[in-house]
Amino acid sequence: MSVLVLGLGNLVHADDGLGVHAIHLLQKDPRVPSHVTLLDGGTQGLSLIPHISGFDRVLVIDAIDVGEVPGTLLRLEGKAVQNLPGKATVHALGFADLMVALKLLGDAPEEVVLIGVQPQSTSEWTPELTPAVAKALEKIPDLALAQIEAWSASPVATI
């Protein structure tokens, strides 16, 4: 089973950098299994296609503006990920667009889970997360590792 943890975001737009900050934390975490690939996807949009292709399972970490209280942790999977509306961030193309492109190419992962945090600000020019989002960031490594462990307990079915 191949697992990718993908952090998305722009490090100079406050909370929009959440996913990248999370990847940096996971890169320093000795609990991350060696079979897991960690990728700082930044704001690369569709150019991420070759980097995601071929993975059975993808865990995405990103700031998601869905109108919740800033710092709210969100977990989406299945249809909820597929139906995710475009984000109100500086990304040129949202994650949902990337998933549609992979599906059209016949190379979508078997399972995608998104761990998100409601941002407070994605337009300020600062590398600092707002306090509410920084507090939520502290919980993401444990959430990501729990998802990886759950996937390890239920391997991808082969035919």
- The C-alpha atoms of residue 17 and residue 2 are separated, in whole angstroms, by 25
> Residue 17: inside a domain, yes or no?
yes
Which pLDDT value is given to residue 137?
A: 98
Count of the separate structural domains present in the chain: 1
- Domain range for residue 108? 3-153
> Residue 109: inside a domain, yes or no?
yes
CATH of the domain at 126: 3.40.50.1450
Report yes or no: 140 and 72 within 8 Å, Cβ to Cβ.
Answer: no
Instruction: Give the rounded percent of residues in the chain with a pLDDT score beyond 90.
Output: 58
Work out the number of other CB atoms within 10 angstroms of the CB of residue 109: 22
Residue 42 has pLDDT above 70, yes or no: yes
> Residue 159: inside a domain, yes or no?
no
> Residue 158: inside a domain, yes or no?
no
> Residue 47: inside a domain, yes or no?
yes
- The C-alpha atoms of residue 86 and residue 64 are separated, in whole angstroms, by 9
The predicted model scores a pTM of 0.88
Q: Across all residues in the chain, what is the average pLDDT?
A: 87
> Residue 108: inside a domain, yes or no?
yes
